[in-house]
Amino acid sequence: MLICGCSTRKNNKYTRWYHGFTTRYNGYYHAEKKYNEQIAAINDRIAIPRGKDFAEFYVLLAPGNLLVEQTDADVFLDVAKRCENLIAKHSVAKPPRRDRRKQNDIDYQRYLRRKEFNPMMHRVWLLKQKALLLGGSTNEAIKTGRTIEQHFAHDTATLIQSRIVSAVAYSLKGWIYAANNLLAPLQYRPDVAYISDMLHHNEAHYLQAQERVAVTISPQSISPSKQNNTVADHTHLEKLNPERVLPESQPYIRLILYPKPTVAENESLLYQINKVAMTFERKHELSVTTETNNHKQTIVISSFETQAEAEKFRSFLDKELKETAVADSIGYEHRNSLFITNR
């Protein structure tokens, strides 16, 4: 059994068992463990508050992989290399000998048309795709996703996970339309409920190319119980060029609100922002830029003198929003961004 099991040119129940067993315990186990440990290390470093079910999702979703440092990328690329070695050594592509007794069995005929017969190989390919993405090899991750589509068309669960990773890769390259085409059919599946968050995230980044409006808020206190014209007294609206919305020369905080807040909710949020700003005893105005459409609002807070001040402000604002129930849930894109669901 061991002699015949060493060859990938044979395909019977013994060779499939041998290569599946060897793949699982002689390579995949260690590669997956290394991948998960690195994901956990990143989560500990950035303190993602979503819990384990969402941790990997938010690491993958970081714009431009800002959460992944070079040392992290090297680890992920090593994981991808291990997966490539497993594929080269243990992939069983040759179909098994036909059983004439099943020649009229439709399921059996579909089984024979598969391009991979190692029962563990779908996990290896999927791990490789995710590792390539987090390692910075976006194009290779997309190519791997296409290979998964061809080799595992029969495995719906694997295809769904691969399409999610491919959609993230498309998003990182700025191909939002292509990403949403992959995600849209999945958004109503209960087993991948976070797809809606990914669609909202992509929409928010797409809106950065749309028209912007800047709002400069004075450091005076604004009570959320006052009428709408009270807020207008403290705001000044002006058109902005896209380059000014996310200032590169100074630290900033970005809030992405979904769905678009009501007038009362927006007034309450502005009040909370000003309340936090007052704790810093700022001598200059807090600069806030907003962009909005029918479904979402994005707020960028700038005019911070240092990165440390921006991070401190984000931490204070996070705590304030949670204590006052302005937001139902708060997630992080990276250390300077909050993704807020307000109802």
Residue 97 has pLDDT above 90, yes or no: no
Assess contact for 267 and 326: CB atoms under 8 A. no
pLDDT at 231: 30
CA distance readout (Å), 115 to 119, 166, 194, 234, 283: 12, 21, 31, 65, 67
Q: Which H/E stretch holds residue 258? A: strand 253-258
Residue 222 has pLDDT above 50, yes or no: no
- State pLDDT tens for residues 233-254: 222 222 323 333 333 456 777 7
Question: How far is C-alpha 50 from the geometric centre of its chain's CA atoms?
Answer: 12
Following DSSP, what letter does each residue of 87-141 receive, concatenated? HHHH---SPPPP-GGGTT-HHHHHHHT-S---TTHHHHHHHHHHHHHHTT-HHHH
pLDDT at 212: 32
Question: How far is C-alpha 275 from the geometric centre of its chain's CA atoms?
Answer: 31
- Which residues is 337 bridged to in the sheet? 254
pLDDT at 127: 94
How far apart CA 142 and CA 165 sit, in angstroms, is 8
Residue 310 has pLDDT above 90, yes or no: no
Residue 335 has pLDDT above 90, yes or no: no
pLDDT at 126: 92
pTM: 0.55
- Nearest Cα to 313, choosing from 219, 233, 244? 219
Mean pLDDT within 48-58 = 47
pLDDT at 284: 58
Mean pLDDT within 28-55 = 72
How far apart CA 76 and CA 141 sit, in angstroms, is 12
Q: Where are the domains of the chain?
A: 2-205, 208-341
Least reliable range by pLDDT among 170-179, 269-278, 321-330, 333-342: 333-342
Question: How far is C-alpha 124 from the geometric centre of its chain's CA atoms?
Answer: 20
Q: Which of 3-7, 156-160, 211-215, 332-336 has the highest mean pLDDT?
A: 156-160
What percentage of residues in the chain have a pLDDT greater than 90? Answer: 11
- State pLDDT tens for residues 65-80: 445 667 788 899 999 9
The more confident residue out of 130 and 323 is: 130
Residue 258 has pLDDT above 80, yes or no: no
Mean pLDDT of the chain: 68
pLDDT at 112: 74
